[in-house]
Amino acid sequence: MPCGSLLDRFRKSPMPNPTLKKNRWQDHYARKAQKEHYPARSVYKLQEIQRKHRLIQKGDHVLDLGCAPGAWLLYAAEQTGEQGRVLGVDLKAVAILMPSQARAITGDIFDLDEALFKPFNDKFNVVLSDMAPDTTGNKHVDAARSQNLAEEALNLAQRFLEPGGNFVCKIFQSGDFKQFTDAVRRCFKICKIFKPQSSRKASREIYVIGIRKL
């Protein structure tokens, strides 16, 4: 039989691929992000949160912590509209083209220059954090690092969020998870815990949402 015929038969009858089947839904989000010109599939996590809770309003000032590669930054800018302002901060530079109401700076959230916030009158209506640590494979170490980032995000929200403002923060679930949610409940009128459908099923990430800062 000619080689071409064998190849045709192989293409028509592919071997089962359990990994492909398992990741089909996840691949859907990656393809969708590419089609809709977002730099990462993580945008759909914020989209789910926004559709459910309407945390970002037109004209809002938004602080996006851990903004690279820029998917949340773009989506937040779409929600605020041209009258809003979005400031992103990340250790990594953001290379995408951004609308006029969005800006990204390269910096460390543990050592931020507060002068950067002057154009925002030092206050924001929404603080977002999709930060995640560089993972080690040790779930205890990774959870501790995630907790540290989440606590600093909450600290910045307490300092720079307007009364009545909203907060979204990713954190890895661990033994200290309740400690963090209790801290959010003390700062906000409402605290919600949310696992987006677009999160990878094996991921231990969860989003803590604080609504209407006290």
**Which residues are catalytically annotated?**
170
Inter-CA distances, 124 with 37, 48, 171, 197, 200, Å: 27, 21, 21, 28, 30
User: Rounded to whole angstroms, how far apart are CA atoms 13 and 145?
Assistant: 46
Written as one letter, the residue type at 94 is V
Q: How many CB atoms lie within 10 A of CB 115?
A: 8
Inter-CA distances, 130 with 46, 155, 157, 183, Å: 9, 15, 14, 18
Inter-CA distances, 176 with 90, 140, 147, 154, 188, Å: 25, 11, 8, 15, 19
